[in-house]
Amino acid sequence: MTINKKLALLWLPIVLLLSINLNTKAETIETIEYKNYIISPRFPQEIKPELMRNTPIRERGGTFNGHTDWYIDWQYQTRQETGACRIHNIQTKVHVIHTLPALSKNVTDVQTITVFNKFNNALTKHEKNHGNNGLFAAREIDKAISEIQPQQDCRYISRMINDIGNAIVQKYIFADSEYDRVTQNGLSEGAVIY
């Protein structure tokens, strides 16, 4: 084998790497926030009334002990290059907000703390599963956008990306609703207090 052939074989992987569109790098930025509302039951029997009185979560005609919201935003840039529009600098952000109860530091009754902690651990797990739906949605959107092939028209790509993103968000909104239906809003997972 001649030196020129050896050099050509050494450069082939480098040329192949350079031919890949490195500008299509995708990035998912995830932030998770916890908001607590404080309750001050003196005895285990006061936990439920305290939850109902102090919860800020009131929607669909009901009052809830815990709640999770997630918000997704996708951003990207397009560039027209020799008859093709390419996507680059993809960034998908997801912000998850869990709203959960917390005991006041003034609560000292051991039985009250034990009962609340058992309930709150189950509620927190339930709400984290809702948050996971938002995280999964953002990751799926990010991956889907990064896999879009160059198109002739940048406006077409923008419509395509928004249609894909919105469809994925709707899929996970449905997953959240289905999860609540199957678990009866966490009841079957122990996220209930009597």
Q: Give strand pairing partners of 28.
A: 92
Contacts 24+ apart (CB under 8 A), 158-161: 158/78, 161/74, 161/76, 161/87
Confidence (pLDDT) at 170 = 98
Neighbours of 171 (CB within 10 A): 13
User: CA 115 from chain center: how many Å?
Assistant: 30
Whole-angstrom Cα distance, residue 53 to residue 33? 23
Consecutive 10-residue runs of the chain (194 residues): their mean pLDDT? 36 33 68 98 97 94 94 95 92 98 97 97 98 98 96 94 97 98 95 90
Whole-angstrom Cα distance, residue 96 to residue 113? 27
Whole-angstrom Cα distance, residue 24 to residue 10? 26
Confidence (pLDDT) at 7 = 33
Complete DSSP assignment for 43-70: SGGGHHHHHHHH---EETTEE-S-EEEE
The answer to whether residues 69 and 97 touch, using CB atoms and an 8 Å cutoff, is yes
Whole-angstrom Cα distance, residue 137 to residue 171? 8
Confidence (pLDDT) at 60 = 82
Confidence (pLDDT) at 14 = 34
Whole-angstrom Cα distance, residue 88 to residue 54? 47
The answer to whether residues 193 and 65 touch, using CB atoms and an 8 Å cutoff, is yes
The helix (H) or strand (E) run that includes residue 183 is helix 154-183
Q: What is the pTM of this model?
A: 0.83
Confidence (pLDDT) at 61 = 85
